[in-house]
Each structure stands twice: as C-alpha cells, then as structure tokens.
Chains A and B, each alone.
Chain A
Amino acid sequence: MSRVVFPARVLPYLLLSPQIAITAVFFYWPASQALWQSVLREDPFGLKTTFVGLANFRSVLADPNYLQSARVTVVFSVATALLAMAAALWLASAAERVVRGRGLYRTLLIWPYAVAPAVAGMLWLFMFNPAMGTFAYMLRRAGYNWDPLLDPGQAMTMVVVAAAWKQISYNFLFFVAAMQSIPRSLIEAAAIDGAGSTKRFWTIVLPLIAPTTFFLLVVNTVYAFFDTFGIIHAVTGGGPARATETLVYKVYNDGFVHLSLGSSAAQSVILMAIVILLTAIQFRFVERRVHYG
C-alpha cells in the first residue's frame, strides 16, 4: 500500500521516543531481569550469585505447592469465565427480546465494570462474612455451616462469584452487540418455519455468535488469570490453606513476602509464556473475525 507520507528524518523518532523510552525502562528492562534471574541462584544474604541453568524451573515445577496453585488457577479461571459468560448471555438474550426499556436495562447492567476488582471482592465479603454479613447470617439460620474464611470450597466459591459479578457487564455488552449483528431475516425465516424461541436460540443465535463467544472466553481467561489479583489479595489472601492461591498471587507472595528471587523469577517467566500463548490465540482469532465476521 502506498500512503502519502511526510518527508522527515528526525521527527518520527522524536514522536516515538516517549513511548519507546517508557517501554524500554519499565517493560523490557524488568522482563529481561526476570529472564536472567530465573537462571541464577542467590544465597540468602545476597552476596553470591551462581548460574544454575534450569534448576529454578525444575524446582518450581516439582513443587507440590506450585502445582496446587496451577490447579487452583485453572479451576478459578474456568469457573469465573463460565459463570460470567453464562449469566451475561442469558441477560443479553433477554435484552434482545424486550422492546421497551432496553437502554435503561443496559445502563443498570454495565456499571459494575467501573468497580475495582478488589472493591468488588470486598463488597461480596461484606455480605457473606460470618461476623456481620446478612447472607452468612441467613445461611447459618438455614442450618448451613457457612464460613468462607475457614472452608476452602466456600472461599473459592466467593472469589469466583465476586470475580464473575464484575465481568458480567463487559460480556453483556459484547453479547448484545453480537446478537444485534445477526440478520433479522434469518431469525424471521426460522420463525416462519415454526422454530420456537428456544430452538432459534440454540440453532441460529448461538452458532452465529460463536466468534464473539470464543473471543470472550479468551478475554475472560486473561481477566481471571491476571486482573483478579486484587480480589484474591483483598478477600482471602490466598487462603484458607492455599485454596485460593492463584499463580499471580503466588508470584507476588513468593517474591515479596518470602523473598525467594530465583523461584519468583522462574514463575514470572512461566507466566509470560502463558500470556504469550493466550495473546497468540486471541490474535489468530482476530484475524479470522476480520475475514469471516
């Protein structure tokens, strides 16, 4: 493609310099440090560093706590993504059906997006904590032994619900946009052929919004992996008994609280690999959507 461009030698570099400078100092420098530290071992006093090759990775991957944390992350991400997407899809298909008040419903449904994840977690904790939460009180009155601060399964349920709650608005907007782009003639033809609304949903709407669904699956997974640190940190602190310790929380905890440099760096590198994988999947999909969507 030949674009009309401005002739200039120095100006483009000047224009790029702020972004490149920030990127170099705060992205590339620390990332390369993480790569470098992941193959070093430092003694506890920080006096001597030795090159240990892949030993840090071996010990991280053999650590039962790390594997437990990986399992926790998978369970947490899958549960959060499924819950947030199912709820949003349900609401979006209802919003498609109403004629009046659609704008009002949208306004009322999108604002949790603006709530910080950590605050979202705390809101749910206010309602469900055993000391003063109204719902905890009701559950106990109903004879259910509820204490998310002690029971691992209940703690996980609470962080999943809080994380999914915050993400519903985002998914809702995308599902609504996807459903509006389905040609009305398709739906009408199916209706004339006698397909009821449930059948139309499963055989026409759902397949046609599949690209958006897949896109949201990737975005929600990335969200559950990385953006929910605040929820975990504010609500459970990884507990009880490591039941909600996700990979990102563990990197933070091992690096900052336990100060084990090599292990934390190796974990960072593994996380980078996961991000690169997820981004690659996302971009492949974007390519596809450009062609067929």
Chain B
Amino acid sequence: MQENRPLAGLVAHLVLVLGVLIVAFPIWYTFVASTHSLQTILSPPLPLVPGDRFLDNYGEALVGGIGQIGGVGIGRLLFNTAVMATAIAVGKIVISILSAYAIVFFRFPGRMVFFWLIFITLMLPVEVRILPTYKVMVDLGLIDTYTGLTLPLMASATATFLFRQFFLTIPPELVEAARIDGAGPMKFLRDILLPLSKTNIAALFVILFIYGWTQYLWPLLITSDSRMSTIVIALRKMVSFTDADTPWHLVMVVAILAILPPVMVVVLMQRWFVKGLVETEK
C-alpha cells in the first residue's frame, strides 16, 4: 500500500467525475433536447433538465406522421440497421471460425498461401478502394440489397486471427482423444471446439455488432433508396443547418434512437465487450 492521502483520492475522484461529465454531456444534451419543443431548441441556451415533450416527440417520431425521413419510418431504419449489425456479426463469426479451423487443424497444400491471402486483407479497408468496390457492387446488382449491405463486410482477417490464436491453445491431446473415439472433424468442431469457444464468440459478437451498427461509408455507398438506409445515414440526411424547416426536436429523437441500441449492448455485455476489445487488438 502506498501512502494514505485522502486528498489525493479526492482529487482522483474529481478528475473522474469531470471526465464522466465530459464524456456523457453530449449525449445528455441531445437527450434533453429530444424532450423539448422545437421553439425551445431554437432559442438557446437549452435548459439542462428534460422538458415535458418526451412522449409527444418520441410518439411523433416513432408512430406519428409516416415517413419522417425521406418517406421512411424510423422502425424500418432501425430494422435495417439491426439486420446489418446482426448479419455482419454472425456472418463474420461463422466464416472466421470455419477458416481458422481449416488452417489450424488440417494440413493441406496451399495452407500458408490461404493464410496470407486472408492476412493481407487487413491492409485493404473499404476506405482505400471506394470506387472500384462500388463498381463491383453495381455489376453484381447488389446496390440497395441486404446482401450488398452485409456480405462484403463479412470477410475479416482480425476475427480469423482471434480464432486461430485461440485454437492454437487447444491441447493436442484433446484432438487425439477425439480421433481415437472415432469423432470426425465436423463432430469435433461441433461438440468440442464450439462449446470451448463460447466466451470468445460472445466477446467478438459484441465488438462486431457495434462495428456493424456504426458503419457509415459502406451504407452511404451501397444504398440510394432511402428504404434501405440505416439510421445513421438517415440522421445525417435529416440534418441541415441551412434549411429552416429541419425538425430539430425529431432529429434529436432519432439521434438518441441511433445511439441507444449499441450503447445498451456495451453496457449490458460489458465483460465480453472489454474482453473482445482487448483481445481482437492483440
């Protein structure tokens, strides 16, 4: 134990409280704005406590007037985003487990070539090949489809590596025992490897769900029909500082709805989130 100085502890608490305030304030501000009327929002300063329009604003944004954003209801946008986040997370996990399994538990010609083919994709993020990727998507007719939104983002070197690292720690005796007992490779994968990988899968799921939910450039490229848009893109399209008609009170509601699901995932699955974050970056 170091010297016991209550003052230093107090200062540390103050620093942390200040940090929490700075980190949380933008979201609190948006939430407060989402419970006030348009007039209140347009005449700053905004009060620091929520107003009385919570039900009115959220009701209007969610069920009131259909087609708040380019003719599309918020339910549809949330659904699209949830489909995208879930499909990317599940798809990436399945594909990565299969290829990591092949690389670790089999010996076959070209194994290292495949390993490097997957590895190099780390260096080709969407951002550096925007236009040609878009062209491929047009040629394949994948614009404005769920396949287009999700499939190309499912190949991931990081997830494959995470599983590879984990599979390498499986004791060889386990494989041997399974083989002696007459288990084939698929039975070993299903009955032994997958149950052992449960925590890794949960951790990765949290990280990938957030990755999918917060995508911006990809849905921006792949969707032109606003019915296929995600909530983040739709929010961007609602905001205009030059247009006097922007319904700011509803914009704030949409912003909160765009933030809430992934934040809930992080807070409720914190243990796996921290594990996933620290391990995928190793």
Residues of A with Cβ closer than 8 Å to B?
3-6, 8-9, 11-13, 15-16, 18-20, 22-23, 25-31, 33-34, 37, 87, 90-91, 94-95, 97-99, 101, 105-120, 122-127, 129, 131-134, 136-138, 149, 165, 168-170, 173-174, 177, 187-188, 191, 197, 215, 219, 226, 229-230, 233-234, 248, 251-252, 255-256, 261, 264-265, 268, 271-272, 275-276, 279, 286
User: Contacts of B278 on A, CB cut-off 8 Å?
Assistant: 173-174, 177
Closest chain A CB from B87 CB (angstroms): 13
* Pairs across A and B, CB under 8 Å, 8 listed: A19-B160, A37-B132, A111-B266, A114-B262, A119-B214, A132-B43, A165-B23, A230-B217
User: Contacts of B281 on A, CB cut-off 8 Å?
Assistant: 174, 215, 219
Which 7 pairs of residues, A with B, have the shortest CB-CB distance? A230-B216, A116-B214, A33-B132, A114-B262, A30-B132, A137-B44, A15-B102
Closest chain B CB from A69 CB (angstroms): 14
Q: Which residue of A lies closest to B167 (CB)?
A: A3
Chain B positions 184-214 with a Cβ under 8 Å from a chain A Cβ: 184-186, 188, 210, 213-214
Q: Give complex CA distance A122, B248 in Å.
A: 12
Q: Give complex CA distance A97, B13 in Å.
A: 9
Q: Give complex CA distance A233, B128 in Å.
A: 16
User: Contacts of A118 on B, CB cut-off 8 Å?
Assistant: 216, 232, 235-236
Q: Are A22 and B217 in contact (CB under 8 A)?
A: no
Q: Are A19 and B155 in contact (CB under 8 A)?
A: yes
Contacts beyond the supplied A5-B106, A251-B130: 7 A-B pairs with Cβ under 8 Å: A6-B184, A131-B241, A132-B248, A138-B45, A234-B236, A271-B127, A279-B122
User: Contacts of A8 on B, CB cut-off 8 Å?
Assistant: 106, 108, 185
Q: With A19-B95, A91-B16, A91-B19 in contact, do A5 and B132 touch (Cβ < 8 Å)?
A: no
Residues of B with Cβ closer than 8 Å to A?
1-3, 8-9, 11-13, 15-16, 19-20, 22-24, 26-27, 29-30, 33, 41-46, 94-96, 98-99, 101-108, 111, 114, 117-118, 121-125, 127-136, 140, 151-152, 154-155, 160, 172, 175-176, 179, 184-186, 188, 210, 213-217, 220-221, 232, 235-236, 239, 241, 248, 252, 255, 258-259, 262-263, 265-267, 270, 273-274, 277-278, 281-282
Q: Give complex CA distance A286, B104 in Å.
A: 21
Q: With A23-B118, A98-B13 in contact, do A11 and B2 touch (Cβ < 8 Å)?
A: no
Q: Give complex CA distance A23, B128 in Å.
A: 15
Most buried by A among B26, B45, B107, B140: B26
Q: Which residue of B lies closest to A172 (CB)?
A: B19
Q: Are B152 and A127 in contact (CB under 8 A)?
A: no
Q: Give complex CA distance A22, B216 in Å.
A: 20
Q: Are B263 and A114 in contact (CB under 8 A)?
A: yes
Q: Are B122 and A256 in contact (CB under 8 A)?
A: no
CB < 8 Å neighbour of B216 from A34, A116, A129: A116
CB < 8 Å neighbour of A233 from B108, B122, B236: B236
Closest chain B CB from A268 CB (angstroms): 5
Main secondary structure of the interface of B (DSSP, over half): helix
Q: Are B241 and A129 in contact (CB under 8 A)?
A: yes
User: Contacts of B217 on A, CB cut-off 8 Å?
Assistant: 229-230, 233, 252
Q: With A6-B188, A115-B262, A122-B239 in contact, do A27 and B124 touch (Cβ < 8 Å)?
A: yes
Q: Give complex CA distance A133, B267 in Å.
A: 29
Q: Are A18 and B136 in contact (CB under 8 A)?
A: no
Closest chain B CB from A146 CB (angstroms): 12
User: Contacts of B12 on A, CB cut-off 8 Å?
Assistant: 94-95, 97-98
Q: Give complex CA distance A267, B126 in Å.
A: 13
CB < 8 Å neighbour of B210 from A5, A31, A113, A229: A113
Q: Which residue of A lies closest to B259 (CB)?
A: A115
Q: Are A126 and B29 in contact (CB under 8 A)?
A: yes
CB < 8 Å neighbour of A188 from B2, B15, B248: B2
Closest chain B CB from A148 CB (angstroms): 10
Summed over the interface, the residue pairs from A and B with CB atoms below 8 Å come to a total of 301
Q: Are A27 and B266 in contact (CB under 8 A)?
A: no
Q: Which residue of B lies closest to A113 (CB)?
A: B266
Q: With A16-B99, A115-B262 in contact, do A3 and B104 touch (Cβ < 8 Å)?
A: yes
User: Contacts of A117 on B, CB cut-off 8 Å?
Assistant: 214, 216
Q: Are B172 and A6 in contact (CB under 8 A)?
A: no
User: Contacts of B172 on A, CB cut-off 8 Å?
Assistant: 3-4
Q: Are B19 and A94 in contact (CB under 8 A)?
A: yes
Q: Are A22 and B33 in contact (CB under 8 A)?
A: no
Q: Give complex CA distance A233, B99 in Å.
A: 35
Q: Give complex CA distance A23, B160 in Å.
A: 12
CB < 8 Å neighbour of A26 from B122, B133, B179, B210: B133
Q: Give complex CA distance A248, B133 in Å.
A: 15
Q: Give complex CA distance A141, B191 in Å.
A: 67
Q: Give complex CA distance A34, B123 in Å.
A: 14
Q: With A123-B27, A127-B29 in contact, do A111 and B267 touch (Cβ < 8 Å)?
A: yes
Q: Give complex CA distance A286, B123 in Å.
A: 16
Q: Are B8 and A197 in contact (CB under 8 A)?
A: yes
Q: Give complex CA distance A119, B233 in Å.
A: 9
Q: Are B29 and A230 in contact (CB under 8 A)?
A: no
User: Contacts of B43 on A, CB cut-off 8 Å?
Assistant: 132
Q: Give complex CA distance A201, B186 in Å.
A: 52
